[in-house]
Amino acid sequence: MKNANEIKFLKNRSIIKFEGEDFLGEIGIDGRIFKALTLARISVGVISQQAIENGISILVQENDAEKAVACLIDEFEAERKSGKVSQIYSINNVSVLGFVAEDFNKVLAELARNNVFPLLLNQVSGENRVNIVVTSSQDEKTRNILESEIFKKPKTVHLAIIGHGNVGKTLIEQVLESSEEIKRRKKIDLKVVAVANSKKIAFNKKGFDANWNDEVLTAEHSSDVQELIRFSNENQLENLIVVDNTASKDFVKNYHALAENGFDLVSSNKIFNTLPIEEYRKLRYTLSKNNRRYLYETNVGAGLPLIDTIKLLHLSGENITRIKGVFSGSLSYIFNNFSVRNDKFSKVIGEAMEKGYTEPDPREDLSGNDVARKLLILARELDLINEFQDINIQNLIPENLLAVEKNEFISRLEELDEEYQKIKENQEPGHVLRYVGDLHGNLQEEKGQLDVKLVSVPGSSALGQLKGSDSIFEIYTESYGENPIVIMGAGAGAQVTARGVFGDILRVSEIK
């Protein structure tokens, strides 16, 4: 006797569909269908009536489909001539899955979240037994989802990691090291099934192991999002997450296509969230339409829970009046050290580069554009429609060094020393330098004021007491008055950023 908790799985089936006006509910139709098919020695499975479509669907073996259609066309010739039956046709390559589910709506929602929409469903009232019919190209994926939902088996989450530089490589290692523990504690089976750089993409349906880098080196597929979509469809992968660890302006153009093809998005790449507001809103519409999620906590505070905090405050109706702080871990390290040491400005920048705190070209940090992007991201979390060009940015690079090659700029860093030594010496006693982002003005209007600049603050203030490469964010709200909510901690480094991205992956994975 079959276990009631098993999933019945039948492949190689076809749906025979009847469509026609006033055909539904007519007495004797079912009997005529069964009789005609029985005489033709064709076995009938599920039978279902669709009031909305004015039709009937029945299930047969795929190799009987053509014969069944011909047989029924003959049986209902009079109804076809009168127009009562408009057409009889088959949908081939389908599979049937039968199961018992106490909360079928929850199961349907999870299937829909993975872009699985049953072609046919038949519920036995009172028994919680359900039969669903899906295309054969989605049947394995459907079974995996049902097993996870009904039998509480670990939910498999398939990860595509785009970019395997410092953050990407660290993230892959963190996932591989933690996967067994996460599977045991959270019932989530994380599998890295794709790893890409700007040139190539490597695939492994079973999930990469510690030798993932060798497989990327020998990969034959060019780095193309369509290859990733094709791979996920061919292998019927459920619970898909793309993780963008690049700083690529080109890769973000793929976010729409990925969301439309069943991928949730996790990103440490700031580019998309600072594109023109029209593009920003278009993606939110695409995500909403396709029931996809996009998490990017590391866009601003590396591993700090900043964006989440601001989202929660804003959604709860709290009036945020100002957000101010040191947004850049690299510039934090530079000015925290330069302010209290006797070393030259160029020497401290060199140290920050050696420690991996800056971008390969430190002008990316010193220009202030990175801080400006982070400030704009926070402004948009408050539904402000500011654009990048609205931000007042103090560029720390002398004009004569803006356009030179990277290596030449690095070799001429000492040209910055005299100017910054003067700025440091001209401060009030007990003050230190900090490079801050400041979102202020009337934040209840369409736009706020965004300033990114070098300031002098008392060494005893919260900003002044910052150490190492830490970031600090002060969130001022109407309820808290003069006392801001302060979030402070590590603001740079591959380990911290990767851990923040990992946190976003787990949050997307736990959504039901």
CA 500 to centroid of chain Cα atoms: 14
From the list 169, 270, 324, 374, the catalytic residue is: 374
Cα–Cα dist 452/386, whole Å: 14
**Tokens at 62, concatenated:** 């795929």
Phi, psi for residue 333 in degrees, rounded to 5:
-60, -45
Identify whether 253 is a catalytic site residue: no
Cα–Cα dist 192/209, whole Å: 8
Cα–Cα dist 456/168, whole Å: 36
Cα–Cα dist 510/44, whole Å: 40
Q: Where are the alpha helices (DSSP H) in 5-57?
A: 29-39
Cα–Cα dist 125/100, whole Å: 11
Q: In what order do the strands lie in the sheet with 320-326?
A: 392-393, 449-458, 431-440, 320-326, 470-477, 485-490
DSSP conformational letter for 446: S
Which residue pairs from 400-407 have beta carbons closer than 8 angstroms and sit at least 24 positions apart in sequence? 401/363, 402/363, 406/360, 406/361, 406/363
Cα–Cα dist 137/323, whole Å: 49
**Tokens at 186, concatenated:** 């959270």
Q: How many CB atoms lie under 10 A from the CB of residue 13? A: 22
Residue pair 59/14 in contact (Cβ under 8 Å)? The answer is: yes
Cα–Cα dist 143/141, whole Å: 5
Residue pair 128/104 in contact (Cβ under 8 Å)? The answer is: yes
Residue pair 209/232 in contact (Cβ under 8 Å)? The answer is: no
Distances from the Cα of 395 to the Cαs of 247, 325, 413, 435, 454, in angstroms? Answer: 20, 17, 15, 11, 9
Environment class of residue 494 by beta-carbon count within 10 Å: exposed (0-12), middle (13-18) or buried (19+)? middle
For residue 411, which amino acid is it? S
419 Ramachandran zone, left/alpha/beta (phi>0; psi -120 to 50): alpha
Beta-carbon contacts of 443 under 8 Å, excluding residues fewer than 6 positions away, are 319, 320, 321, 322, 382, 384
Beta-carbon contacts of 496 under 8 Å, excluding residues fewer than 6 positions away, are 302, 303, 490
Active site residues: 374
